[in-house]
Amino acid sequence: MDQQNTLSKSDPILLTGCAGFIGHHTAAHLIAQGHRVVGLDNCNNYYDPKIKHKNLELLRGMKGDFSCEIGDIRDTALVSRMFKTHKPATVIHLAAMAGVRASIDDPTLYTDVNVTGTMNILNQAVLHDAQHVVFASTSAVYGNTTTIPFTEDDIGIMPVSPYGASKLATEHLGSCWNYVHGINTTALRFFTVYGPRGRPDMMMLHLLNSILTGNEVPYHNGGEMYRDWTYIADIVDGIVRAAARPDGFQVYNLGRGEPVRLGDVVEMLRALTDRSPNLRPIPMPKVDIFKTHADISRARTHLGYAPSVSVTEGLEAIVEWFCREHPEIKTKAS
Ligand SMILES: NC(=O)c1ccc[n+]([C@@H]2O[C@H](COP(=O)([O-])OP(=O)(O)OC[C@H]3O[C@@H](n4cnc5c(N)ncnc54)[C@H](O)[C@@H]3O)[C@@H](O)[C@H]2O)c1
């Protein structure tokens, strides 16, 4: 049932969150493939907006068809104007407030951006006859489920963070908009995505920055927790495959399916750089999940999704990028 990429190159793709980590990698891939990409991002200061503007510069520097509005997904007039002007058939909606722990401090913002913002995108997509909205969900929707590996068939899931709850709500909206309006909606549950130009608030970048600066990094449960680390190129491949397959309402896990212990990731980073991050062991935050583990058989079967970058290869790639950015650190190989 493997599906080829049948995304039309004549219609532009509306890509929200295009200045962010996953968004700009997705945009770069689509532009390189000859797609027209219209981006929307408010470049907020959840982390340093300079990083986002740099990502946009990178996209603007590519040969291809890319434009971006700096604005908010909750701005109905703006979103409506963008649909009216560009007439996208496909929307890839990645804009969100994305921090699990940060969502405890500002649940109102997380609900507003993630739920109301997604509803605005869905509404405008329907009003302007778009065919398909693909949107980012997360492994955080699984909360502390005891069904492992995590499967999309587990319908009793209970998120344990406001972030996870907001994302599960967007899935329900996607299902509802498909039922009521007939628009195709696809929710993609990403599992701990990492890679070059990654999000600085995530563990992987915290560890690398600590290797660089010596600053303390909180070390959850002394490294005794597991993540289904998934390399950015595999995630982008999954997003594009899903976008090419409108099929009513669908939910897919996009992970690797092989959880790796945080402590082992730290050891691999040590081996690659010959340096140690400055670790401060702390208990597991209440909103964190001990182990994430994706069952990816549905994405494999329906989308032909087949993650190909092992954690070892992914870590080598991210360390190589980081050392290029910070020549004062060297990889062991250099
Ligand atoms: N990185 C991961 O491991 C991971 C895991 C699971 C799910 N996700 C989801 O994937 C998507 C992309 O995540 P990311 O890691 O690239 O995060 P990111 O923060 O780098 O990207 C999100 C982008 O959305 C933009 N944005 C936020 N609020 C907005 C608003 N109101 N209007 C317009 N733009 C807005 C931000 O400025 C940012 O550029 C998010 O929906 C996130 O929840 C990410």
Give the distance (Å) from ligand 1 centre to CA of residue 321.
Answer: 21
43 close to ligand 1 (CB < 6 Angstrom): yes
221 close to ligand 1 (CB < 6 Angstrom): no
pLDDT of residue 327: 85
pLDDT of residue 334: 63
The tens place of each residue's pLDDT in the chain, 334 residues long, gives 444 457 989 999 999 999 999 999 999 999 999 999 999 999 999 999 999 999 999 999 999 999 999 999 999 999 999 999 999 999 999 999 999 999 999 999 999 999 999 999 999 999 999 999 999 999 999 999 999 999 999 999 999 999 999 999 999 999 999 999 999 999 999 999 999 999 999 999 999 999 999 999 999 999 999 999 999 999 999 999 999 999 999 999 999 999 999 999 999 999 999 999 999 999 998 888 999 999 999 999 999 999 999 999 999 999 999 999 998 877 766 6
Ligand 1 pocket mutation pick from 15, 18, 21 by most atoms within 8 angstroms of CB: 21
72 close to ligand 1 (CB < 6 Angstrom): yes
Closest Cα to residue 173, out of 126, 225, 239? 126
Give pTM, 2 decimals: 0.97
Give the distance (Å) from ligand 1 centre to CA of residue 236.
Answer: 14
**Domains observed in the chain:** 13-194+231-256+293-308 (3.40.50.720)
Looking at 163, 194, 231, 305, which residue is catalytic? 163
SS3 63: coil
Give the distance (Å) from ligand 1 centre to CA of residue 313.
Answer: 24
Residue with tokens 């495959």, as numbered in its chain: 241
> Exposed, middle or buried, 142 (CB in 10 Å: 0-12/13-18/19+)?
buried
Q: Which atom of ligand 1 is nearest to the CA of 23?
A: 16
CA 103 to chain centre: 16
Q: Which atom of ligand 1 is nearest to the CA of 22?
A: 16
pLDDT of residue 317: 97
Answer left, alpha or beta for residue 115, where phi above 0 means left and psi between -120 and 50 means alpha.
Answer: alpha
Each residue of 95-108: pLDDT tens digit? 999 999 999 999 99
